[in-house]
Amino acid sequence: MARGSVQIVVERCKACGFCVEFCPTKVLELSSAFNSKGYHPPHAVNPDKCSGCDLCGMYCPDFAIYGFRVKEAAKTAAGADGATEAEPEEASDAS
């Protein structure tokens, strides 16, 4: 289960491969696709292994990638605002 996530700014990447090399859990690989500069940016091949450590971001010379931690099983408990809608019954006398 992923504890982190990684974002890649494809157009900034120059395909040096540092992020691929230094990711401790081997989340990344260089893609076969090109960006507009003709480089192969990385993509996440094992996103479930991302810890969000941001080592990729620290090594990237072009600020083209960053990792961040995500809250496990982000529970979005809806309906906790306590707003109960009571419908007041108005007895309207037809005059």
Other Cβ atoms less than 10 A from the Cβ of 15: the count is: 19
Q: Does 6 bind ligand SF4 (CB under 6 A)?
A: yes
83 with 36: CB under 8 angstroms?
Answer: no
Q: Does 29 bind ligand SF4 (CB under 6 A)?
A: no
Q: Does 54 bind ligand SF4 (CB under 6 A)?
A: yes
State the DSSP string of 31-73: -SS--TTS---EEES-GGG-----HHHHH-TTS-EEEEE--TT
Q: Which is nearer to ligand SF4, 49 or 88 (CB)?
A: 49
Q: Does 18 bind ligand SF4 (CB under 6 A)?
A: yes
Residues that bind ligand SF4 (CB under 6 A): 4, 6, 13-19, 23, 25, 27-28, 41-42, 50-56, 59-60, 62, 64-65, 67
